[in-house]
């Protein structure tokens, strides 16, 4: 059974226009933060009733690669002191181009980091400018090549499509470039306009116009075809991997396994309880230094909530397991949602195959809408 450990590192050199994750541009003492998060790890371990084996560690943010190898090692040491970590655990650090060099990457590798996730987002200078990314295309490629030279054999690259400036040709050029680089894993996301972000405000002010839904769907279809032809398996709606290179940590979330989160705004799921940390660094620091866990809220998932998650996550992966829905939740989806499923089927969005309700290639472009209707 997969189990994950997540570390939220909230620091950024610059907060991008579209980002709604908790992050700050100020550089509060990194050493002080490391002391605080390791203390939170110590406090949490005393609340864990059993000794689960954790199969993945993920440093997210923010920009975790702003931390030095020594600081990452201190956090890793705290995790190993307090929890049972599998010898072959996947250890990922999210990395922004320009924040690491060859020496830093090699030092990360030496302390046990075996997977990198590089936030490239685009190989177009115009796209990077729109997204307010502060790295260049050359920085992104240099980061990737340095990682290969440092002997990383498990590298993800993040890309974003459906920018207001996107045309088919621009997106195809992005895909061609990433295929040439041959990363082990690709995460390709459609741009979203999240409330509270500067991008959302620009949308409200009519300073930007979202791509039309049909073109967004077409770009998604192009992504499926090109990455499939290049040997990447789509194992989740936005994620593609070479054989054996699926992200173990993300699968922990998608398969409703347990995980523990540390740092401001981090979420955890343990023994049916979901809880989340304070999303303010100063308040987080004060709470932990007082010897208290920095929990902001919690909930015990109801049977209905678990069933809805099965629907949402199932559609994003291999489909909704109809037998499991009946046996575990006493829900006959085909009967309850006959009208909706018939409509989606007529439009070519879903099929029923071996007791699974699956999205078609065309339907995958509308996965969130379909899941909302079925939930």
Q: Which pLDDT belongs to residue 295? A: 97
pLDDT at 28: 65
CATH at residue 236: 3.20.20.70
Q: Is there a contact between 278 and 267 (Cβ–Cβ < 8 Å)?
A: no
**Cβ-based neighbours of 273, under 8 Å, separated by 6 or more:** 298, 299, 300, 301
Residue 211 within a domain: yes
Give residue 103's Cα distance to chain centre.
Answer: 26
Residues 43 and 144 in one domain: yes
Residues 69 and 216 in one domain: yes
SS3 235: strand
Q: CA separation (Å) from 157 to 39, 45, 122, 143, 185?
A: 32, 33, 10, 11, 7
Residues 69 and 201 in one domain: yes
Q: What is the reported pLDDT for 307?
A: 87
Count the domains in the chain: 2
pLDDT for the residue 282: 94
Q: Is 111 helix (H, G, I), strand (E, B) or coil?
A: coil
Domain boundary among 254, 285, 316: 254
Give yes or no: residues 219 and 321 share one domain: no
CA–CA dist 78, 85 (Å, integer): 11
Per-residue pLDDT at 99: 94
Other C-beta atoms within 10 Å of 26: how many?
8
Q: Is residue 62 part of a domain?
A: yes
φ and ψ at residue 131, rounded to 5 degrees: -80, 0
Q: How many CA atoms lie within 13 A of 40 on its CB side?
A: 27
Boundary residue ending a domain (254, 286, 320): 254
Tell whether 202 and 69 lie within a shared domain. yes
Q: Which of 187, 219, 254 is at the close of a domain?
A: 254
Sign of CA dihedral 125, 130, 136, 141: negative
Q: What domain range is 333 assigned to?
A: 303-374
Q: Please report, for the domain that includes residue 366, its CATH number.
A: 1.10.10.920
Mean pLDDT by 10 residues, the chain (375 residues): 96 92 83 97 91 96 96 98 97 96 97 98 95 96 97 98 92 97 97 94 94 92 97 96 97 94 97 95 96 96 88 90 90 90 93 91 89 87
């Amino acid at each position: 059974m997969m189990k994950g450990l997540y570390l939220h590192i909230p620091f950024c050199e610059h907060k991008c226009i579209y980002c709604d994750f908790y992050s700050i541009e100020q550089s509060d003492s990194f050493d002080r933060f490391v002391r605080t998060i390791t203390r939170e790890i110590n406090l949490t371990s005393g609340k864990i009733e059993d000794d689960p084996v954790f199969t993945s560690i993920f440093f997210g943010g923010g920009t975790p690669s702003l931390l030095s190898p020594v600081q990452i090692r201190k956090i890793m040491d705290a995790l190993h002191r307090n929890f049972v970590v599998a010898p072959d655990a996947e250890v990922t650090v999210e990395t922004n181009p320009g924040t690491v060099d060859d020496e830093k990457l090699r030092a990360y590798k030496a302390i046990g980091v075996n997977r990198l996730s590089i936030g490239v987002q685009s190989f177009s200078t115009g796209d990077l400018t729109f997204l307010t990314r502060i790295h260049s295309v050359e920085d992104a490629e240099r980061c990737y090549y340095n990682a290969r030279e440092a002997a990383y054999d498990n590298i993800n690259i993040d890309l974003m499509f459906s920018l207001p400036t996107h045309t088919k040709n621009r997106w195809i050029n992005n895909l061609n470039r990433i295929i040439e680089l041959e990363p082990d894993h690709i995460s390709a996301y459609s741009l979203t306009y999240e409330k509270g972000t500067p991008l959302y405000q620009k949308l409200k002010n009519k300073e930007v116009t979202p791509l039309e839904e049909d073109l967004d769907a077409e770009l998604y279809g192009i992504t499926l075809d090109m990455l499939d032809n290049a040997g990447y398996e789509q194992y989740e709606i936005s994620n593609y991997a070479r054989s054996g290179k699926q992200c173990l940590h993300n699968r922990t979330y998608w398969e409703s396994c347990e995980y523990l989160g540390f740092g401001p705004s981090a979420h955890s799921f343990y023994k049916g309880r979901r809880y989340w940390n304070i999303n303010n660094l100063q308040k987080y620091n004060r709470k932990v230094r007082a010897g208290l866990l920095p929990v902001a809220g919690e909930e015990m998932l109801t049977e209905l909530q678990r069933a809805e998650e099965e629907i949402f996550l199932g559609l994003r992966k291999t489909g909704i397991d109809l037998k499991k829905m009946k046996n575990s939740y006493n829900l006959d989806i085909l009967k309850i949602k006959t009208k909706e499923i018939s409509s989606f089927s007529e439009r070519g969005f879903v099929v029923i195959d071996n007791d699974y309700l699956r999205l078609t290639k065309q339907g995958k472009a509308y996965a969130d809408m379909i899941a909302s209707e079925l939930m």
